[in-house]
Amino acid sequence: MSRVINTLDVALVAAAVIAATSLLSNDYYLRIIFMMCVYYLCAVGMNVLVGYAGQKSLGQAGLFAAGAYAVALLTTKTEISPWWALVLAAVIAGLCGVLIALPSLRVKGPYLAMVTLAFGIVVEKLVGEWTEVFGGAQGIYGIRPISWNEQPLTTQQWVWFAVVLCAVAHVLIRNLLHGRFGRALLSLQADEIASSSVGVRVYRAKVIAFVVAAVTCGIAGALVAQQNQYINSDFITFHLSIFILLLVLFGGAGSMYGPLVGAIVLTAIDAALARWPSAQHFLYGFLLLFALYAMPGGVTGALQTCFKRKPKKQRLSTGETPKTTRIGPVASGDLLVVEGVTKAYGGVKPAQNVSFCLQRGHIHALIGPNGAGKSTMINMLTGVVAPTSGSIKFLGQEIADKPAHEICRMGMGRTFQNLRLFADLSVLDNVMLGHHTRMRNGFVSSLLGLPGALKQEAITQARALELLELVGLSHLCEHPAGSLSYGLQRRVELARALATEPQLLLLDEPAAGLNPQETAELGQLLLRIGQCGVSILMVEHHMDLVMSVSDHVIVLDYGTKIAEGKPVEVQANPRVIEAYLGVDDEPDASEIHATA
């Protein structure tokens, strides 16, 4: 219902703008409004790439050129309809987005910006010097504009058309970002490893962000070319890429209305300083630095900070034991089989020919002194690290060569030794991200806001609230995850892992940093999770917790397995005692508690 209301609001605003511009007859002011729409189209796609996915790009001028020159060549060299030329220009720009994404996503940080910058410079040189095709500085004349009733659009009609396109783009991208794909993109910006661990296909999500930015920028370029009926290399400069980036950063990256604010304010400033190009460039540089350092959230971010609402105070947990919710299937037998797994980093081997088997319905513990290779083993099981040799079979399938998101999809969830929450997202959104791989709505249904996508969103939210109730955090669902205490953040990460609907849950030191009371509560929680049909393998140093909840214990020392069995048997094993105490004499087994 909220999406329908928001769509109606956008339609009303667009209708109001169209009504207002119908009273304008001055082509100069209409042209400024038209360029606001053009730059908004550039910025709204760029916001997906920069504000949500966190990928810094300086190649938007090249994508603008792809749309502009595609429509120019299609309408001057063929008899294709200008309407179809506009559509094809968007497709061609999208393909260029894929082209720039493939090499760009192999690098990160400033290197990513440099690769996209190189793309923009190559396109700038190409359209400027390949005069036989692109016309160079002379450009391409006679571009056929779109028409209505066989009459070219007037300046006023161009504005109306651009306003409608902006409204449609806003609604579609809002549908995309306020749901499964928006959460996935935000998770990339926060932590790619954690994102892949909950089933997000990191590379695919980045490519989608590049394509969305390319399509909207290509449409903007095509509109300029068709409205002017002319395009040349002077339109395609590095300053255009900087300006598009500035639109997003100044307006507010990551905000749905940031691109709109940036487009309106900066286009008006650009028009006011049109007579002084040097002043324009100086102001762009100043505003870019100002946005990065003094106002990192942009104008909309600053306004949100001023008028920020505190999360609603939810009812406090009653302390009652949450109801048991089924997560894993009712089954028995082998769940995970590890045979001869070795991991070598040069001469260092944190895992050496390790073999063990995990049974369904059991809580297993993987223990050992510091440096024994426990976290390395967890990372190999979940696809974060590839083993050098050996076999890992989960549910009868070999997973040693599979990426993390595929292993998660198969039914293996995990938490991390060092917290990897998406701190800026709410507790609820963190847990809903865990359900990402279980949602059935694809890109198109999410983009269009189809009923199927809305249903999946409702199901995911209900499931997330159910799991938060299980871990006792439903009263904090609206709070930013990073604002909670360390112990509560541990529970959020656990709920997020459970949201992946795992058959096997891997916990890397879940009690690290917890006080004795929190550790005891965690033990009870793990037992409840086991009753939900989830098998558990935990790496843990708290021997009290291990011995109280584990059915089976595996012990590593210097990368090799030295013992396994029931907790009591392992506790009395001489090799285990020697590994923990560093002595050959066999002391009382209870001393392990004091040294672990």
The structure tokens listed for 122 are 């190559």
14's enclosing H/E stretch is helix 2-21
Angstrom distance (rounded) from CA 18 to CA 264: 16
Domain range annotation of the chain: 48-236, 334-411+502-595
% of the chain residues with pLDDT over 70: 93
- Render pLDDT for 341-357 as a digit per residue (tens, 0 to 9): 999 988 888 999 999 99
Residue 42: what pLDDT?
Answer: 95
> CB neighbours of 569 closer than 8 A, spacing ≥ 6?
none
Mean pLDDT of the chain: 88
Residue 276: what pLDDT?
Answer: 79
Residue 314: what pLDDT?
Answer: 43
The structure tokens listed for 459 are 């199901």
- Render pLDDT for 290-324 as a digit per residue (tens, 0 to 9): 777 777 788 888 777 776 665 554 443 434 444 55
The structure tokens listed for 194 are 């954690």
Burial (Cβ within 10 Å: 0-12, 13-18, ≥19) of residue 164:
middle
Burial (Cβ within 10 Å: 0-12, 13-18, ≥19) of residue 197:
buried
Residue located via tokens 């300006």: 243
Contact predicate 387/380, CB 8 Å: yes
Q: What is the mean pLDDT of residues 280-285?
A: 76
Contact predicate 206/441, CB 8 Å: no
> CB neighbours of 334 closer than 8 A, spacing ≥ 6?
357, 358, 359, 360
> CATH assignment of 334-411+502-595, given 3.90.420.10, 1.20.1440.60, 3.40.50.300, 3.90.226.10?
3.40.50.300
Type of residue numbered 523: G
